[in-house]
Amino acid sequence: MLCNRGRPPYPTKVAFQGEPGAYSEKCLREMLGQDVIAVGRPSFEDVFRSVSNREADYAVIPIENSLGGSIHANYDLLLRFELFIIGEHDFKVEHSLMALPGTKASEIKQVLSHQQALAQCDNYLRAMPGVERVPTYDTAGSAKMIAEKGMKGCAAIASELAAETYGLEVLATNIEDDHVNFTRFLLLARQPVGVFIAPPVPAKTSVVFTLPNTAGALYKALACFSLRDIDFSKIESRPTSAQLLQYLRYQLRSSGSGAGGAGGGSDDLPRFQYCFYLDFLAAELDDAAQSALAHLREVAPFMRVLGSYPRQGQLVGPVRDTLEALRRQARAAAAGKGSAAAAATPSAAAAAAPPAGARRLNIGVVGFGKFGQFIARAFARRGAAVRGTGRTDETAAARAMGARFYPMYEQDEFFRGLDVVVFAVSILSFEEVLRNIPAEYLRGKLVVDVLSVKVHAKKTMLDALPGDADILCTHPMFGPESGRAGWQSLPFVYDKVRVGDHERASDFLAIWEQERCKMVEMSCELHDEYAANTQFITHLMGRILGEQRLAQTPIDTRGFQSALRLMETTCSDSFDLFYGLYKFNAHSHETLRGLRESFAQVERQLAAKEAYMAAKADMASEERQRILAEVRGLLREAARAGLDAAVQTEYAGMRAIAPTAAGEGEGQGGEGGATIEGELVPEGDAADAEVQSHTDIGVQSAAV
The catalytic residues are 183, 185
Side-chain-side CA neighbours of residue 272 (13 Å):
4
Residues with Cβ within 8 Å of residue 626, at least 6 apart in sequence: none
Q: Which helix (H) or strand (E) holds 327?
A: helix 318-334
Under 8 Å between Cβ of 186 and 15: no
Residues with Cβ within 8 Å of residue 624, at least 6 apart in sequence: none
Under 8 Å between Cβ of 185 and 74: no
Number of CB atoms found within 10 A of residue 616's CB: 10
Residue 141 in 3-state DSSP? helix
232/292 Cα distance (integer angstroms): 13
Can you say whether residue 313 is alpha, beta or left, with left for phi > 0 and alpha for psi between -120 and 50 degrees? left
DSSP string, 437-451: S-GGGGTTSEEEE--
368/345 Cα distance (integer angstroms): 39
376/365 Cα distance (integer angstroms): 7
Detail the DSSP E strand segments found in 282-434.
302-310, 362-366, 385-390, 404-407, 420-423
C-alpha distance from residue 586 to each of 222, 386, 431, 462, 678 (Å): 42, 35, 17, 19, 102
* Among candidate residues 276, 290, 292, the one with its CA nearest the CA of residue 238: 276
Hey, which residues does 671 pair with through a beta bridge? Answer: none
296/273 Cα distance (integer angstroms): 18
Under 8 Å between Cβ of 355 and 7: yes
**Cα dihedral 58/61/63/67 (nearest 10):** 150
4/502 Cα distance (integer angstroms): 8
* Among candidate residues 68, 42, 57, 327, the one with its CA nearest the CA of residue 187: 57
For the CA atoms of the chain, what is the radius of gyration? Answer: 41
With residues binned 3-state (H G I as helix, E B as strand, rest as coil), the percentages for the chain, rounded to 5, are 45, 20, 35
* Among candidate residues 455, 428, 460, the one with its CA nearest the CA of residue 442: 460
Under 8 Å between Cβ of 208 and 303: yes
Detail the DSSP E strand segments found in 613-695.
674-676, 679-681
Hey, which residues does 133 pair with through a beta bridge? Answer: 111
CA 67 to chain centre: 34
